[in-house]
Structure 1
Amino acid sequence: MYLNCHTYYSLRYGTIKPEQLLAIASENGVQTLALTDINSTSACLDVMRLSKKYKIKPVLGVDFRNGVQQQFILIAKSNLGFQHMNVYLSQFLHNQDLDIPERPDTILDDCFVIYPYKKGKRFNLKSNEFLGIAPEDLNHLKFSKWNQFREKLVVLKTVSFQNKKGFNTHRLLRAIDNNTLLSKLPKSEEGQPQHTMLPYDSLCNIYDDYPELIDNTNTLLKHCSIHFDFSSKAPKNQHSYTNNAELDFKLLKKLSYDGLYYRYKKPGERIFKRIEKELTIIKEKGFVSYFLINWKILKYARSKGYFYVGRGSGANSIIAYLLRITDVDPVELDLYFERFINLFRTNPPDFDIDFSWRDREDITQFIFKRFKHTALLAVYNTFKFRASVRELGKVFGLPKAEIDGLTGGKYQIAKLDRLSQLVIKYSIYIEGFPNYLGIHAGGILISEKPIHYYTATFMPPKGFATTQFDMVVAEDIGLYKFDILSQRGLGKIKEATEIIAYNHPKQPPIDIHDIKRFKQDQRIKYLLRNAKAIGCFYVESPAMRMLLKKLQVDNYLGLVAASSVIRPGVSKSGMMRQYILRYRYPEKRKEAHPILREIMPETYGVMVYQEDVIKVAHHFGGLTLGEADMLRRGMSGKFRSRDEFLKVKQQFFNNCLNDGKPEDITAEIWRQIESFAGYAFAKGHSASYAVESYQSLFLKAYYPLEYMVATINNFGGFYSTEFYVHEARMHGGSIEAPCINNSQNQAVIKDNVIYLGFMFLQSLESKTISRILKVRETGGGFKSLDDFIERVPISIEQITILIKINAFRFTDANKRELLWEAHLKINKTSIQEEVVTLFKTERINYSTPELPSTTLENAFDEIELLGFPLCNPFDLLEKPSTNSLRAKDLEQLEGKTVSIEGYLVTTKQTKTSNRKLMHFGTFLDRDGDFIDTVHFPPVAAKYPFRGKGVYEIIGKVMIEFDCVTVEVSKLERLAIIEDPRYSDKKLKAS
């Protein structure tokens, strides 16, 4: 009876969650309903999957609208009809310029079409087309011509809200969507308050005088039958690579043995046994094509010279290692096979393939061309509480100051006025509602059937068709994604090798994949042990830098462990500290439970990896591998809100009790297991990270300047560009501002001089940069400002940027004088391309006054245009510093209260166990060395950070595990000089 039901995936319109819709229907005695979200199929598969729980037959359709103007409703008769409907909807979602017509402009015989009853509209209805009569249309119908054609009329009772609160929420969402005050929201942009679900009998009573409509509606719904097999037995992903399952397996086996001697010079029996064991299970579980598709993608990547890193649980596989999907040897690392794959596992292992951010789009293009049924995965961008407060504050017309106070949490709910209370109330209510569809960071589906068999697709600006459901729905129905991700770390490595090859042409090419050599390299060991890894992948953050120092890591296995120990699950549970203690002090290892020590000897009985959790659950808690696989799913971030942990928790406790294990130890171990939810790394994943860390560490150890240039050009990593420039300077580089004759778009290095690129100049347009480089390439370097103006069409605004950054310093002319000249010689209104003439017209040279500029003025121009000064920031202090204490002196001052000055690099905000705010700070001293600080809640509240700058830090020196920190008691940002460009004070030129 319900042919037009909306969930909150009718974005910024509906207010009912998909499962809630089924629950409401069940309560109202409804046995069949049509889910018809507005221009969306996002909820369709979820409703299909959940419908059995509520004993409801779901029918799938779409409410086609232009904005809120309903054109017609399509309802699929069958799976084929659903597919055709998805194809039809997708053409409008792919091209936003297309309006949805009043009638479908294509034949859709396997769908029913329902038109809303509109006064004055006349249709010649086809056999599959009907007119929908809403309760409010019944009075008009009595006097309408359509009353004579009741066989073409159906009940059209729209359901968009559960109740009055749902309708009020709908109005707020419509106001947000229209960017208007609630009081000014047009009625035409709203649904009707009565668009709620009635009990089945009550709805029938409304149409008592029109029994034909009830019969027609029920008959229509009976003719609809859609079925999806969500079981693992029905293949949803591309089932075969070669179109023949046997050939697939033969190819996988051949490729595995072909790669054997590339990976192992002398493979032993252990390796052969592992290969055969994996091949057997991969075949049995039906994952052969999954491996072959990944292999094909990466074969293409290697043919193009792209760098990549394969990680995820698939890194536990020797087959993945032999196929060069990963660079992690699971035999060397003794990776736990059952974490990678076991007979209880229903989904294939994860292969997260990282590419350089420059290469990923081409890889995606290749996948879409090579594999027939391909789409990107969507992600639901949801309403967040603070953002909702801001949006609803505007809708209610609150002043900005009040909105700021509410978003900052500075209020007591009981003391707020009525409107502010409503803002908070409804912000809480819509938190988690889908707001709009985005693109998953890297998920790609390659399905056996056309993607439109499952969903409509939309077309984001990148130009790749994208599903209307997310990864959780995809996995629930058995579609498993390929993760094609982008990271700047690989871009840095690739570019660094290219710069090195260019700067050192006589040197043999670097084999960046020679990880075995890197593991033994003494320079790399030194960088690791002393945490001198700024710019290096995954090991440069302040937290990682301190952890490496505490662990004194200088080997591969230690780095693999550190990569996982740093994760929130390990660190917050207290296991990080236990691991450090047992790593540094062997006598502490005896404190581990004997069973845990036996299960995890490598990590001294401390759970560090996902595999450890599975091992402990299996060997200590007596869970089967099937039950342990539930834990694996529970540890996955995307499922952290689910109850996988709870399903096996009681079994774990029962098994331990029956085995005579003490309750307190069992409870503590379960607490540790639970802390891994959503945060744990598989060991193979950490090992893959460590491989990339070693590659970047090698480049940093032997070619620090080239590597830092590549880091700067790839927009860094954890830190901002300023601090990679600083790091280059610490390694002997001389940093130059952009130069008209020496700079490129990106930074370049000549000998030990690094010229920053034009792209780092804020507001310098890309077309200006292209013109400069093109003219310089064809006609050589510029001889003067006149020569530049003659050859490069440029506006006064753009040349001003170049002059202010001192890009014409080769002329030896003062930049203030150059600015005068430029203003006199450049036409402000028109930019003309250079016209080649037979005779060159000499420009008039005007006499300009002497206008000296200073080093300090240059620094402020650099801050304005680059975002940071190229001089030492301590030189800009209003009162020259007399503080001689440096970071290197702190080791000798343990327990003493000191005053030291530091330039702020970065801060980290966290909360204590009682939810109070505290901070960690990272500063540079005048020599460029790091100062690490801790700001406990009272200090954090009294002395907050006040942005970039040099601070006086007063606090006690604390040393733990060789890590020096200052426990801050007072923090004050020091004043800098007045901007000399706008000052009347005379400053000496320097």
Structure 2
Amino acid sequence: MTDEGPAYVELQVTTHFSFLRGASSPEELFTAAAMLGLPALGVADRHSVAGIVRAWDAEKVTGVRALTGTRLDLADGTALLVYPTDKMAYGRMCRLLSIGKTRAGKGSCHLDWPDLEDWTEGLLAILLPDRADSAAEAAIARARRIFGDRLYLALTIRRRPGDAIRLRDLAALAAKAKVPTLATGDVLYHMPDRRLLQDVVTCIREKCTIDELGDRRERFADRHIKTAAEMERLFLRYLKDRSPVARTVDFAKRCTFSLEELRYQYPDEIQVPGRTPQEELERLTWEKAPLRYPEGVSPAVRTQLEHELRLIGELDYAPYFLTVHSIVAEARRREILCQGRGSAANSAVCYVLGITSIDPVRSELLFERFVSAERREPPDIDVDFEHERREEIIQWIYETYGRTRSALTAVVTRYRSRGAVREVGKALGLSEDITAGLAGAVWGYSREGVEEKHAEALNLDLGDKRLALTLELARMLINTPRHLSQHPGGFVLTRDRLDELVPIEPAAMEDRQVIEWDKDDIDALGFMKVDILALGMLSCMRRAFEFLHDHKGLKHDLSTIPAEDPATYAMIRKADTLGAFQIESRAQMASIPLMAPRTFYDLVIQVAIVRPGPIQGDMVHPYRRRRNGQEEVTYPTPELRRVLEKTLGVPLFQEQAMRVAIECAGFTPSEADLLRRAMATFKLTGGVSHFRDKLIDGMVGRGYDREFAEKTFKQIEGFGSYGFPESHAASFALIAYASSWMKCHHPDAFCAALLNAQPMGFYAPAQIVRDARNHGVEIRPIDVNHSRWDCTLEETANGKYHAVRLGLRMVRGLANEDGAAIAAARAGVPYSSAEEIQRRARVGRGALDRIGDADGFASLGSSRREGLWEVKGLGPAALPLFQAADERAGRLQREALEPATLLAPMGEGAEVVEDYRASGLSLRAHPLAFLRDELRSRKIITCRELQGIKDGRWVNLAGVVLVRQKPGSAKGVMFITLEDETEVANLVVWTNVFEKYRRVVLGAAMMGVRGQVQREGEVIHIVAQRLDDLSPLLASVGQRKDIADIYRVGRADVVKSPVGPDPRDPETKPLGRNPRDIYIPDLRLGSGIIPGQPTEGIKIKPRDFR
């Protein structure tokens, strides 16, 4: 105790990074500690240091020192806290955690006493016995031998009967062993009102309701941070001894380690002995420059390369550039498509090394947007690879650098609105239908979560205390970490052991491992990472190039596609871009006809302009008006003309905002980048005022009007937090153009490649197939005698394009190995029956059943029903003896012969239902074609008829919901795309209409709308005023029969059908039902074939972009 009063350090703090145990964030805990006057906090999450970087950041803000530690629960039940005294001890603690996590697998840690003996030098330990029994005595003795005078014993008040006696017994046990005691509060939350949330996360962890939790619930309600005076008062009351409280300060003094001591060292990539990394980088740069500039390296390029190499050398980043170069070179060696993007495309060195594809000198891009001397933050290069082959590169990195020096960064998966209300509702005992309804009432991420108005719209009683508490606690749970997952591709590589800087654990995916820190943590510590990202369109383009080579004799890659092709741009201007990279969204399709891109730079702008930044900065409409000649293009000064001439005087890119600051206000390039970064966080930190004054005063000092300077700042500020770098837009525009060229000239290859690259993009396979058919491509159905696993191209007797044969991959639920086995066993000899497929391919009945569901037996002469009937009659796979006999005979010996069976044909509507359920698309009629007569009777027009409706007219329209999108920049407006049998239509749903029809908007599979037509050039929207859920009407499609009247037959009716009894049935009907007797596909699908039978309806899942 000091003259100022008692002193205390809380040494047992659990943050919410002990997933589903702690209920407060490090920031909240340290803020509370500062308010209560505590000098330090010991953060000891369970088997983890995932939260210590956040704690270290909180230390800088609050002044409360962060002690780095962890809690270990050993295999025999012993629990202890360990704290490193120095950097070496911290490294051993990380190694210890890595060993336990590797041994136990994802999400667990298995450690025992022998592990402590090997890795605890320099660690302080605090034992956490609950009571003074023989187990505690044995643990103290064993820990004493391992830790010596570095061992302490925790005394924690539990507020239960006999607590004072329990504490005195533990203190006596510690004194007998000569182990000092420490007071701890075993903190789980920062303030008392988090107790309820802590109970809820315990329920989630234990998978039970609050009523079932019992003694798994924390026994007392003061697991929050307390003042030193309160801790002293409590220990004097319970133990008559204040020394355990005072001793915590001495313990904290022994913990001298700080995260500031961590020194990250990037691995040296010296390619040639005797050269430094910088020398090797310079050699490669000048060696490869002529390959990028075959006409000669111009003075401007040479100056830029020299400038970049000089700055890279000053910051010692050469090893990083060499590493990325080696990764890209390995991908090229393996013929894996890849391309760098993001701010790395601002670098001429990256361009020359082949990492990126955009010439930054020609495009006048700023290198300081990528690397800045003042910022002194590590560069971040993102490289996209084919998503199907990226794993090859990931494993190559592990093999090259070793698993102790390389790992992926983590992503902290947090609760969002929908998940939070589901989990809290479940914990508080609400029914599943209520929690599902509440979750369905929320769109996307919302800090407010499910609000009372949403519950009222569901006719729920807000007077119900559990319901009200659910909504309140769900809001508290939002943004709480749930678990660690792996980053899409962010690799951390080190010169020395990575597992001495941060624990490494196995990822859920085989042969991958991750560290416990996310990208924000490693940025805070100055670690460099390489982003190995996956891009589905690169896989699609690689497959398309292979189709061109194999079927048309054309050899192309991304670099040899003809540039500035007029036909491609003509197609783009019509917004015929479904499937094209980055320009296929509803917003892009609406914008493209108005922008009418004709050149590559137009496409760069098109990619960038449909973004929150330009929209919020009010730059889209001025640019569009100027481009279309509706507004005069003016430049107040020659400097602004140089910066903004490419974009007609309107700043659209981050680089332009930086150049405005440089050219017009006298900023250095590095200061301009600091301005950009301040803009990006001004809403959170408010730290932009200094740059505001500097920019405005600088412009005024250079002759600009103050009003114009303030307007310029406001414009830059408007899109600072969402701005799109020109380099990034240009990188994406390259792929956008390539995919558009492929679609324009080779829609057959593009369609097949796009289907094989699924899932990706904005649209489902049904829309991709429909679009290809609209472009004259024949689509052939799944067939067991013609389909391979992937979709393929087939010759046509006449026609401009090849036909696309749908592959077995389109069959839902069919395993890759089964599909591959069927295709391989066929080997040019067609199958003649389902039994033959089973025998030759050695696949189970389940695989054949799924192919039958998809009507894949047509070449066997079987309808869907007939094929499934045959499959259901198959026995188990043939024994090896009979299989060998078949092979010797050269033909299949059928196990049994059955008489011909007459099965009633399915209705056309039922066939469509089955198609969608089995493969997600149908080559028959569109579902709405069966409903058109009824829709006409309701005065509902088709999407194609919408093209002839004048602006401002009111219309009724209906369609299947394809896409729902509610961009953050749209101020609450929802955009919906509907599809009928003719075309698609785009709806605009304003906030008041969205709230009024929330359940329809979020839940309808088929939607009817009454609204007003809004035309702008060729772009048509319907501004919705009323929305109706027509899902029940869509569900009736299975009952529509547009071919001939059918004999209705159901599961229980099979034995009554006119084909007579099945000869394999026993004479005496067994108890229960034979699987063969109860199977009729359209009934299983709920297609409504039986009169009065309820139907599930077609499952056409929309793509929701939240």
Report the TM-score, using the length of structure 2 for normalisation. Answer: 0.81
Question: Which of 90, 112, 120 is equivalent to 1:101?
Answer: 112
- In the alignment, structure 2 segments of 5+ residues that lack a partner are 1-8, 158-162, 442-449, 456-460, 796-801, 1048-1106
Letter in 2 for 1:877: L
Is the alpha carbon distance of 1:891 and 1:757 closer, same or farther for their aligned partners in structure 2, counting shifts above 3 Å?
closer
Alignment match, 2:196: 168
Alignment match, 2:173: 146
Alignment match, 2:914: 861
Letter in 1 for 2:465: R
Q: Is residue 987 of structure 1 aligned with residue 1045 of structure 2?
A: yes
Is the alpha carbon distance of 1:378 and 1:643 closer, same or farther for their aligned partners in structure 2, counting shifts above 3 Å?
farther
Q: Distance in 2 between matches of 1:984 and 1:921?
A: 28
Question: Which of 99, 119, 122 is equivalent to 2:132?
Answer: 119
Kindly report which structure 2 residues correspond to 1:247-286, keeping only aligned pairs within 5 A, or say none: 247-267=276-296, 268-286=298-316
**2:128 and 2:153 in contact (8 A); partners too:** yes
Question: Which of 14, 22, 26 is equivalent to 1:18?
Answer: 26
| Deviation of 1:851 (Å) | 2.7
Is the alpha carbon distance of 1:5 and 1:931 closer, same or farther for their aligned partners in structure 2, counting shifts above 3 Å?
closer
| Deviation of 1:495 (Å) | 0.8
Is the alpha carbon distance of 1:651 and 1:774 closer, same or farther for their aligned partners in structure 2, counting shifts above 3 Å?
same
Q: Distance in 1 between matches of 2:697 and 2:215?
A: 60
Structure 2 SS opposite 1:250: helix
**2:187 and 2:224 in contact (8 A); partners too:** yes
Q: Distance in 2 between matches of 1:471 and 1:277?
A: 29
Alignment match, 1:682: 725
Alignment match, 1:411: 452
Q: Is residue 585 of structure 1 aligned with residue 618 of structure 2?
A: no
Question: Which of 328, 333, 336 is equivalent to 2:363?
Answer: 333
| Deviation of 1:212 (Å) | 6.3
Question: Which of 178, 190, 203 is equivalent to 2:218?
Answer: 190
Structure 1 SS opposite 2:104: coil
Is the alpha carbon distance of 1:904 and 1:577 closer, same or farther for their aligned partners in structure 2, counting shifts above 3 Å?
farther
Q: Distance in 1 between matches of 2:950 and 2:658?
A: 42
Q: Distance in 2 between matches of 1:888 and 1:401?
A: 39
- Residue deviations 1:874-922, cap 9 Å, x none? 4322628879987677666533637586754633443899966543435
Is the alpha carbon distance of 1:761 and 1:220 closer, same or farther for their aligned partners in structure 2, counting shifts above 3 Å?
same
**1:541 and 1:718 in contact (8 A); partners too:** yes
Alignment match, 1:487: 535
Is the alpha carbon distance of 1:148 and 1:347 closer, same or farther for their aligned partners in structure 2, counting shifts above 3 Å?
closer
Kindly report which structure 2 residues correspond to 1:216-235, keeping only aligned pairs within 5 A, or say none: 217-229=248-260
Letter in 2 for 1:167: R
| Deviation of 1:325 (Å) | 0.4
Structure 2 SS opposite 1:159: coil
Kindly report which structure 2 residues correspond to 1:54-73, keeping only aligned pairs within 5 A, or say none: 54-65=62-73, 71-73=79-81
Alignment match, 2:1078: none
Q: Distance in 1 between matches of 2:850 and 2:757?
A: 23
Q: Distance in 2 between matches of 1:523 and 1:911?
A: 32
**1:79 and 1:453 in contact (8 A); partners too:** no
Q: Is residue 897 of structure 1 aligned with residue 953 of structure 2?
A: yes
Identity value in percent:
21
Alignment match, 1:774: 824
Q: Distance in 2 between matches of 1:192 and 1:885?
A: 65
Q: Distance in 1 between matches of 2:28 and 2:164?
A: 29
Alignment match, 1:110: 122
Alignment match, 2:491: 444
| Deviation of 1:241 (Å) | 4.5
| Deviation of 1:149 (Å) | 3.2
Of 362-371 and 448-457, the range deviating more from structure 2: 448-457
Of 164-173 and 878-887, the range deviating more from structure 2: 878-887
Q: Is residue 385 of structure 1 aligned with residue 417 of structure 2?
A: yes
Q: Distance in 2 between matches of 1:311 and 1:398?
A: 47
**2:929 and 2:981 in contact (8 A); partners too:** no
Alignment match, 1:460: 507
Alignment match, 2:407: 375
Question: Which of 899, 905, 925 is equivalent to 1:872?
Answer: 925
Q: Is residue 293 of structure 1 aligned with residue 323 of structure 2?
A: yes
Alignment match, 1:540: 584
Structure 2 SS opposite 1:95: helix
Alignment match, 1:560: 604
Letter in 2 for 1:362: E
- Residue deviations 1:7-55, cap 9 Å, x none? 2222222233223333333344433442211221012233334435444
| Deviation of 1:265 (Å) | 1.8
Q: Distance in 2 between matches of 1:369 and 1:95?
A: 20
Is the alpha carbon distance of 1:186 and 1:469 closer, same or farther for their aligned partners in structure 2, counting shifts above 3 Å?
farther
Q: Distance in 1 between matches of 2:261 and 2:622?
A: 44
Is the alpha carbon distance of 1:790 and 1:918 closer, same or farther for their aligned partners in structure 2, counting shifts above 3 Å?
closer
Q: Distance in 2 between matches of 1:335 and 1:143?
A: 72
- Residue deviations 1:809-855, cap 9 Å, x none? 1233444344444434x12x677567211556345432234334254
Q: Distance in 2 between matches of 1:945 and 1:215?
A: 61
Question: Which of 88, 98, 110 is equivalent to 1:80?
Answer: 88
| Deviation of 1:308 (Å) | 0.6
Q: Distance in 2 between matches of 1:575 and 1:835?
A: 71
Structure 2 SS opposite 1:469: strand
Alignment match, 1:717: 761
Alignment match, 1:823: 872
Letter in 2 for 1:876: F
| Deviation of 1:143 (Å) | 4.9
**2:1013 and 2:1020 in contact (8 A); partners too:** yes
- RMSD over aligned CA atoms reads 3.6
Q: Distance in 1 between matches of 2:528 and 2:355?
A: 17
Q: Distance in 1 between matches of 2:168 and 2:988?
A: 77
Alignment match, 2:750: 707
Q: Distance in 2 between matches of 1:552 and 1:984?
A: 43
Alignment match, 1:132: 153
Of 44-53 and 490-499, the range deviating more from structure 2: 44-53
- In the alignment, structure 1 segments of 5+ residues that lack a partner are none
Kindly report which structure 2 residues correspond to 1:558-957, keeping only aligned pairs within 5 A, or say none: 558-585=602-629, 587-590=631-634, 596-620=640-664, 623-634=667-678, 641-645=684-688, 648-652=691-695, 665-715=708-758, 716-751=760-795, 752-777=802-827, 780-824=829-873, 826-827=874-875, 835-837=883-885, 838=888, 841-853=893-905, 855-873=908-926, 874-877=928-931, 879=933, 893-895=949-951, 897=953, 903-904=959-960, 906-910=962-966, 917-923=973-979, 926=982, 929-937=983-991, 941=996, 944=1000, 955-957=1011-1013
Alignment match, 2:472: 425
| Deviation of 1:631 (Å) | 3.3
**2:588 and 2:610 in contact (8 A); partners too:** yes
Structure 1 SS opposite 2:12: strand
Is the alpha carbon distance of 1:228 and 1:934 closer, same or farther for their aligned partners in structure 2, counting shifts above 3 Å?
closer
Q: Distance in 1 between matches of 2:383 and 2:967?
A: 34
Letter in 1 for 2:903: L
**2:973 and 2:989 in contact (8 A); partners too:** no
| Deviation of 1:269 (Å) | 1.6
Alignment match, 2:1066: none
